[in-house]
Every structure is written in C-alpha cells, then in structure tokens.
Amino acid sequence: MYDPQLPILNMKVLVTGGAGFVGSHAAEHYANAGDDVVVYDNLSRAKLLQQNDTNARHNWEYLSARKEIAMVEGDVRDYDLLKPYVADADVILHTAGQTAVTTSVTDPEPDFMVNALGTFNVLEAARASGEQKTIVFCSTNKVYGDNVNDVELVESEKRYDFAGTYANGIPESFDIDLCKHTPYGCSKLTADLYMQDWARLYGHRIGVFRMSCIYGTRQFGFEDQGWVAWFTIAAMKGFPVTIFGDGKQVRDVLYVTDLVELYDRFVRSDVPHGVYNTGGGVDHTLSLLELIDLLESRLDRKIPVTYDDWRPSDQKVYISDTTASRAAFDWTPAIGPAEGVEKLVQWVLDNPDLW
Ligand SMILES: NC(=O)c1ccc[n+]([C@@H]2O[C@H](COP(=O)([O-])OP(=O)(O)OC[C@H]3O[C@@H](n4cnc5c(N)ncnc54)[C@H](O)[C@@H]3O)[C@@H](O)[C@H]2O)c1
C-alpha cells in the first residue's frame, strides 16, 4: 500500500527518455523533491519531428538549468553506456521509447530495437547491478491491440462510449492475444512482459503502467501522436487540422502531473509489482469534437477542420479502468480535461517562439 506517512528519503533517480514529455515532468518532480536525478536521452525526438530543432531540444534545455539534474546524451540501445547509470540509481523511470505507431509500421526495426531491446538493456543492467531496483515502465494501451474494437459501443451526437461489460473501461485482465497490435504494440508488449518477468524472477519492484492518453505542457504533439497537445497547438498557431474519422473517437485523458504523482506513489509504496491501466478513467474522457468545442469556446473563434478517412488501427474508444491503481495507491486524478487544456493553452501563449 501507499502510505503518505512514510518518511521521504533522498533517492538517486534515473529517467531514461528524460528529455521527452513524460520524462521531463518526472525528472522535474524528483528534482523538486530534492532527489538526485540523471536524465538519459538520445535526443531522437528531434529527428522524429524533422522540424526545427528548437522545440525538440526545449525540454533538454529546460531541465539543464536545474543543478539537481545531470544530463546524459545516450541511447538505451547502448548497453555499455547505460549500465553504470542504472547501477547507480535507486529508482529507474524508463520512459525512453519509439513512440509513433505510424513510424513503427513504416520502419519496424528501430521500433523493435528501442522499445524491446532498449527495455531489455535496462532490465539486464538492473540485474547485473546485484541490487533490487525500483522501476517504473511506460507501457501502453496498445498492448490490447484490436481487441478493444470488439467492445460494444454506444454512439451519441459528439462521441462514442463503451457499453455493457466495459462501461467502466478496460481492465488489466483484458485479452492481449489474437489481435492486430501494430509493431509498436508488439514491441511495447514485449517490453511489458519482460518487465513483469524481471520482477518475478529477480525481485525488482516494477510498476508497469499501460498508459492511454497523457497530455500536458512540454508535449510537442503532432498529427500522429499526442492529439490533445497537437489540436491545441495547431488551433492556436493556425496550423491545418485534420480529423481522421468522424471526430467522435473518445479517450480517457490524464494530465501529466497526475501521472507522475501515480508513479511516485508506486515508488514510495511497498507494492512489490503491478500492472496498471493508466489514464483519466471513465470520469475524465474527451472526444475530438468535444476538444474542438472546448478550444473554440476558449479561443472564442471557429477552428477550421478538414475530415479524412479513419486510419488503420484507430480505436473508436479507449478508456482505462483505473480501479486497480486507485485502490493500491489511494490515487485519483486532480486535474480535469478543461483545466488541463487551459494549462496547455497558457503554455503555448507563454512560449510563442517554440513553433
Ligand atoms: N504520451 C502518451 O500519451 C503515452 C501513451 C502511452 C505510452 N506512452 C509511452 O510513454 C513513454 C514516454 O512517452 P512521451 O509521450 O514522453 O514520448 P516522447 O517522445 O516525448 O519522449 C520519449 C523520449 O525518449 C527519447 N528516446 C527515444 N529513443 C531513445 C533511445 N533509443 N535512447 C534514449 N532515449 C530515447 C526521445 O528522445 C524522447 O525524449 C514512451 O515509452 C511511450 O511509448 C506515452
């Protein structure tokens, strides 16, 4: 259980992918708590974005200003470089990853090497240290693949919802077999299973968080990834916005600081191991059309949108059943969608030169 009365000890925290969106918030959280933080990132997001380097390096420079954070430019595929940083850490937040589903389809090899081998390297380095490490792994709802699309839906004017058995969302016991995963789903599921086995076999404390839609500041969303941030940035900057499908697709959305709070409650708990479907849950959901409505009323203008066909592997609805993590960690998201989107709007306003 998570016990808020437990004394908070100074920890050495390694954040792989720490220059990314989730990783940068995790690194900041632990630096604010007085812990020693190492960010380990190969800055490949810069190449992925293939735009100006400014925004891709933004998080790196943002964190470099903190004296509690050591910045290491390194690749999780490079075992020899990674190994001593893992050995030296009490807590490893493994957020580094190839994150775009579309890229995994067009170029599956680096997706496999980063997500599967890179994660294996983190685990092997932990095992080689001879110490029991606490590890947080950023898994994904994509481990459930296309099975999610078999769930019964109800359709209303602006959204779809799950109906029947899964009206409260997808639980951790949901089937992972015999479905279309995409290479990204396969490589993340591989990593997810290795994490589970390293906890069982070698006694590391490992939290596997199967995340749905995380959003927040310092998220450089683009069309293929990070839709809440992408639509907000695009609407404010006047970039063309395309909706694939009918816009009624729904996700449970979780503001990034609520996610990091959940990680931290796992880290500071005595829970030996767990797998948690992680998102805003059934109380914090948003469809694309609802997000557009929210942005139009916030910006007080119409947002021009074009429509295109559904993309392969698009899910009409994904909502996490967050019962397990709420019960284990006495956790509940503090920031609802309207408040979270407002934070994003403010971030874009405060950083006019990032795009
Ligand atoms: N953001 C979400 O909604 C979401 C949902 C489900 C799962 N996830 C997972 O959470 C993790 C973090 O996602 P994010 O949104 O912060 O992505 P992000 O792209 O912002 O961050 C990932 C970081 O990992 C780094 N990286 C990539 N390959 C690397 C490598 N080989 N070695 C070292 N660093 C490398 C990138 O440079 C980047 O800074 C990822 O593993 C992703 O699969 C995210």
pLDDT reading at 96 higher than 60: yes
Residue pair 204/134 in contact (Cβ under 8 Å)? The answer is yes
Report the pLDDT value the prediction gives residue 5, as an integer from 0 to 100. Answer: 67
In a domain, 44, yes or no: yes
Local confidence band at 14 (pLDDT 50, 70, 90 cut-offs): very high
Q: What number does the ligand 1 atom closest to the CA of 23 have?
A: 16
Phi, psi of 161 (to 5 degrees): -140, 155
pLDDT reading at 113 higher than 80: yes
- 302 Cα–ligand 1 center, Å: 32
In a domain, 49, yes or no: yes
Question: Which residues have a catalytic role annotated?
Answer: 184
User: SS3 letters for the chain?
Assistant: CCCCCCCCCCCEEEEECCCCHHHHHHHHHHHHCCCEEEEEECCHHHHHHCCCHHHHHHHHHHHHCCCCEEEEECCCCCHHHHHHHHHHCCEEEECCCCCCHHHHHHCHHHHHHHHHHHHHHHHHHHHHHCCCCEEEEEEEHHHHHHHHHHCCEEECCCCEEECHHHCCCECCCCCCCCCCCHHHHHHHHHHHHHHHHHHHHHCCEEEEEEECEEECCCCCCECCECHHHHHHHHHHHCCCEEEECCCCCEEEEEEHHHHHHHHHHHHCCCCCEEEEEECCCCCCEEEHHHHHHHHHHHHCCCCCEEEECCCCCCCCEECECCHHHHHHHCCCCCCCHHHHHHHHHHHHHHCHHHC
DSSP class of 67: T
In a domain, 127, yes or no: yes
- 37 Cα–ligand 1 center, Å: 18
Structural domain harbouring 162: 12-347
Pocket probe for ligand 1: among 22, 55, 257, the residue whose CB has the most ligand atoms within 8 Å is 22
Cβ burial, residue 307 (10 Å; 0-12/13-18/19+)? exposed
Average pLDDT estimate for 293-316: 92
Segment 197-238, tens digit of pLDDT: 999 999 999 999 999 999 999 999 888 789 999 999 999 999
In a domain, 139, yes or no: yes
Residue pair 253/215 in contact (Cβ under 8 Å)? The answer is yes
Q: What number does the ligand 1 atom closest to the CA of 18 have?
A: 39
For ligand 1, atom 30: residue with the closest CA: 75
Report the pLDDT value the prediction gives residue 47, as an integer from 0 to 100. Answer: 62
Q: What number does the ligand 1 atom closest to the CA of 211 have?
A: 6
Report the pLDDT value the prediction gives residue 344, as an integer from 0 to 100. Answer: 97
Local confidence band at 7 (pLDDT 50, 70, 90 cut-offs): low
In a domain, 352, yes or no: no
DSSP class of 170: B
DSSP class of 309: P
In a domain, 4, yes or no: no
Local confidence band at 8 (pLDDT 50, 70, 90 cut-offs): low
Average pLDDT estimate for 289-313: 94
* Pairwise CA distance, residues 317 & 88, whole Å: 41
In a domain, 126, yes or no: yes
- 284 Cα–ligand 1 center, Å: 23
Report the pLDDT value the prediction gives residue 222, as an integer from 0 to 100. Answer: 86
For ligand 1, atom 35: residue with the closest CA: 96
- 5 Cα–ligand 1 center, Å: 32
Report the pLDDT value the prediction gives residue 34, as an integer from 0 to 100. Answer: 94
Local confidence band at 49 (pLDDT 50, 70, 90 cut-offs): low
Q: What number does the ligand 1 atom closest to the CA of 94 have?
A: 41
Average pLDDT estimate for 308-329: 93
Number of domains in the chain: 1
Beta bridge partners of 272: none
* Pairwise CA distance, residues 34 & 14, whole Å: 14
Token pair 């932990």 in the structure block, residue: 126
- H or E element, residue 206: strand 205-211
pTM, entire model: 0.96
Going by their DSSP bridges, the two strands 134-140 and 91-94 should be labelled as parallel
* Pairwise CA distance, residues 168 & 282, whole Å: 6
DSSP line for 257-274: HHHHHHHHHHHTS---EE
Residues with a CB atom less than 6 Å from ligand 1: 16-17, 19-23, 41-45, 75-77, 95-99, 114, 118, 138, 140, 211, 213-214
Angle at 309 between CA 317 and CA 218, to 5 degrees: 60
In a domain, 354, yes or no: no
The enclosing domain of 270 has a CATH number of 3.40.50.720
Chain centroid to CA 95: 8
Amino acid letter for position 34: G
Residue pair 19/39 in contact (Cβ under 8 Å)? The answer is yes
Residue pair 260/25 in contact (Cβ under 8 Å)? The answer is yes
Q: Which residue has the higher pLDDT, 336 or 10?
A: 336
- 29 Cα–ligand 1 center, Å: 17
Segment 150-204, tens digit of pLDDT: 999 999 999 999 999 999 999 999 999 988 899 999 999 999 999 999 999 999 9
